[in-house]
Amino acid sequence: MLVMVAPGQGAQIPGFLKSWLEEPAFADHIHWLSTVCGIDLEHYGSEADADSIRDTAIAQPLIVGTGLLGARALFSRSAGRPALLDVAAGHSLGELTVAASVGMLSEEQTMVLVRERGRAMAATAAKSRAGMVAVLGGDPDDVQATIERHGLVTVNDNGPGQVVAAGAREAIARLVAEPPAATRIRPLQIAGAFHTPEVEHVAVRLGRCARAITPLTPPARLLSNRDGEVVTDGREMLDRIVRQVSLPVRWGLCMETMTRLGVTGLLELPPASTLTRIARRALPDVETFALNTPDQLDDARVFVDKHNTAPGPA
């Protein structure tokens, strides 16, 4: 059984789109997605430096657009066919990527939503005195207690040994100075406390856009970041994606559901590596594939054929 996954913000690195742009068909499609969202994804994905693509308003459309390109190339969506998959799940922002990749939303609807999401979150970050920090390792109970003691909240539970906390920068500084035992603390280059009530207004703004969209029934079982549960109704999933902006990401629960469903293969859409690394620790019996460049497509198709049990051509 195959699960296709898509990463969230922070997966981008300078130049990661360059190899895709060397092929005219892929370059044309990125140009089209750039036109839809009003952001030059070609430039930012090939020439811009790390600081430029760290901007939330740029990073979010860039990551989603690249994921859509990878899914289209892998599953031949140029023929108008959505990806036929067993299971799909996105991490935070990646929920939008998989929603379009399986045909629940159109690519154009998705690029408008991610543009508005990125702009609104970037505007909040510009005024915020909050931030986010990853806590790696340690005893889970001790980690959670320490996060709470410093006045922070857990916003990402990425499975055993990796959580992300958010809150005031002063509180993050205290956590860095007094971390839980046997942990490594890694401040994230994200200004703002995303996935907390600080960005509730972003969910409201997205909700207005989402109400104008009629999502289709997804042909794959989608896993929700809210609780890791399977969602098969397009409207419910879109509502969950909108609300997830201000709610914690329970990726660990998503992986528990993958295990329960019997997933044997996990393929991560570009820019890939984050979720593949997590899966290698948390799901050691699941084979993984990180798709990052077009020269991997043939091997990726072999991987999909090996694990995918969805009916019909992939």
Catalytic residue among 46, 92, 101, 224: 92
Contact 265, 303 (CB under 8 A): yes
Residue with tokens 């006045």: 151
Q: Of the residues 29, 91, 195, 307, which is catalytic?
A: 195
Residue 57's contacts (CB-CB under 8 Å, 6 or more residues apart) are 39, 118, 119, 121, 122
3 Cβ contact list (under 8 Å, min separation 6) = 85, 86, 87, 88, 89, 223, 258, 263, 265, 266, 267
Is 307 assigned a catalytic role?
Answer: no
Angle (deg, nearest 10), helices 24-37 and 56-75: 140
Known catalytic membership, residue 76: no
As annotated, the active-site residues are: 92, 195
